[in-house]
Amino acid sequence: MENRMSAEKRMNRLGALRAKCVPRGPYNSTPLFAAAASGAVIRDLEGREFIDFGGGIGAMNVGHSHPKVVAAIQDQAARFTHTCFHVVMYEPYLELAEKLCRLTPGAFDKMALWCNSGAEAVENAVKAARYFTGRPAVIALDHAFHGRTLLGMSLTAKAMPYKKGFGPFAPEIYRIPAPYCYRCSLGLEYPGCGTACADFLELFLKTQLAAEDTAALIAEPVMGEGGFITPPADYFQKISRICRDNGIVFIADEIQSGFGRTGRMFALEHFGAEPDLVTVAKSLAAGMPLSGVVGRKEILDSPHAGGLGGTYSGNPVSLRAALAVLSIFEEEDLLARAEVLGRRLRGRFDEWAERYQIIGQVRGLGPMLGLELVRDRLTKEPAAQETARVVKLALDKGLILLSCGTFGNVIRVLMPLVITDDQLEQGLAVMEEAIGQANEGIRQG
């Protein structure tokens, strides 16, 4: 009892300190403070354990505190933590670049540079594309998320909370419809539409924006914050062809969808398309601050010396963590585990969709799956309040869930790929119970 009281006092003290010293802008989706984490489980200060279906928003594909990652971090920290790559180089920067050049899609010569955050990777990809093409404009998709920096939020399509009050935004950003088949902005249905949202790009380049002024098109293969929107199979083949025909750099934002999250190392592999540049972060280094841009040599090598980089870019401790992540994928065959996990989740979610009318659509690739919740399947009215209730009910039962989507009505799962079968079943049982309660609330209402 005394230990519990002590933990509660500590929680209260930290809660008060958070309210006093940290602005409300850095939002918290749970009231928890972590004491320890391992694999797919987080323990809070009161000793309660939570099965983690959020995975640090997709950053923990190899799990929390994987021993090989921890050992790599400890070893590198004992050697040196920073020299600045621009001043004194170090081997991990080059080793990781060589590996990612080999792993990312595209049968052409590649280079890689390292940054600190996903948004910074996006910024550098756009900088390189603009420099290489000599063009200013960048095309993004509706429902996209590309970060919170000036350029990142300008590319992002959701006003609240990412853009409201933060203007003016970066210029020369243009937007086309997303392949959101469940809520098609063109009022069409797939496959009868012939993937018209991809063909729309050709018309857009004739009527709204000259191809000769367009440096890049950036898109997430599976749209993360936008609601795990997953395009038709031929969408990116069409998009990449149009970009190639018009000299436009195609940037694939794999920050959330990369490193096994969809059952392939990179989500774009499912679509048979080759991006010119790929942005990576999150699970690249098991949550350590590291991001990068990988892609065509002629594009990334075009800016002058000193035009790209930063003091902390490619920190050696983070790079060693990333190298450990890649070895874990190979040694533990995590891609095979991801495929199994994806099949199990899809099977379970499809069963729920038949049982609970609140589930309007199940979508995604591999274990990167989202459930769009609606109040009515005919009108597709978003069930945002019910989605928040599902997240809250799950947390009360020891499961961390995350919501997303432009309308705040999508439950997404980003559990570590190393989750055990027992942990998975426990989490799914809690998740179904919460969805069932929300479904009953709508039925009775």
pLDDT digits (tens, 9 = 90+) for 166-212: 999 999 999 999 999 999 999 999 999 999 999 999 999 999 999 99
- The pLDDT assigned to 425 comes to 98
Q: Give the burial string for 341-365 (b: 16+ CB within 10 Å, else e).
A: bbeebbebbeebbeebebbbbbbbb
Residues 73 and 218 in one domain: yes
From 296, 331, 366, the end of a domain falls on: 331
Residue 8 has pLDDT above 90, yes or no: no
d(CA 440, CA 82): 55
DSSP state of 212: G
Residue 4: the pLDDT is: 62
H-only helix segments in 138-296: 150-155, 196-207, 235-245
For range 84-111, the mean pLDDT? 98
**Of 331, 350, 384, at which residue does a domain stop?**
331
Here the CATH number for the domain that contains residue 360 is: 3.90.1150.10
Residues 168 and 281 in one domain: yes
**What is the rounded CA–CA span in Å between residue 371 and residue 349?**
8
**Span of 7-21, 145-159, 399-413 with lowest mean pLDDT:** 7-21
In this structure, the answer to whether residues 38 and 126 fall within a common structural domain is no
Please say whether the beta carbons of 206 and 213 come within 8 A. no
93-99: average pLDDT: 98
pLDDT confidence of residue 326: 98
Q: What confidence tens digit (pLDDT) does each residue in 267-308 have?
A: 999 999 999 999 999 999 999 999 999 999 999 999 999 999
* Residue 2, pLDDT score: 52
Confidence band for 6, pLDDT divided at 50, 70 and 90: confident
Quote the pLDDT of residue 28. Answer: 94
Last residue of a domain, one of 278, 312, 331: 331
The helix or strand, by DSSP H or E, that contains position 399, with its residue range, turns out to be strand 399-400
Domain check: are 112 and 230 in the same one? yes
Mean pLDDT of 63-91: 98
Q: Domain of 271?
A: 69-331
Give the 3-state secondary structure of residue 335.
Answer: helix
Output the pLDDT for position 193.
96
Q: Give the position of tokens 């609606």.
A: 374
Question: Do residues 337 and 318 share a domain?
Answer: no
- Are residues 21 and 155 located together in one domain of the fold? no
pLDDT at 7 over 90: no
Q: Give the model's pLDDT for residue 443.
A: 79
385 in Cβ contact with 393 (< 8 Å): no
H or E element in which residue 18 lies: helix 2-21
Mean pLDDT, rounded, for 67-86: 98
* In the predicted structure, residue 3 carries a pLDDT above the cut 70: no
Quote the pTM value.
Answer: 0.96
Q: What is the mean pLDDT of residues 218-222?
A: 98
Residue 445 is predicted with a pLDDT of 67
- Compute the average pLDDT of residues 215-228: 98
Q: Is residue 305 located within the same domain as residue 345?
A: no
Answer whether 309's CB lies under 8 Å from 280's CB. no
DSSP letter assigned to residue 402: E
**Does residue 298 share a domain with residue 232?**
yes
Which CATH number fits the domain that encloses residue 267?
3.40.640.10
Per residue in 358-385, pLDDT (tens digit) is 999 999 999 999 999 999 999 999 999 9
One domain for residues 39 and 155:
no
Structural domain count of the chain: 2
* β partners of residue 363: 370
Percent share of the chain, pLDDT over 70: 99
One domain, residues 432 and 347: yes
Reported confidence tier of residue 441, pLDDT bands at 50, 70, 90: confident
Q: What angle do CA 170, 291, 79 make, to 5 degrees?
A: 140
Strand 41-44, strand 277-280: pairing: unpaired
In this prediction, residue 160 carries a pLDDT of 94
Assess whether 59 and 74 both reside in one domain.
no
**Is the same domain home to 353 and 310?**
no
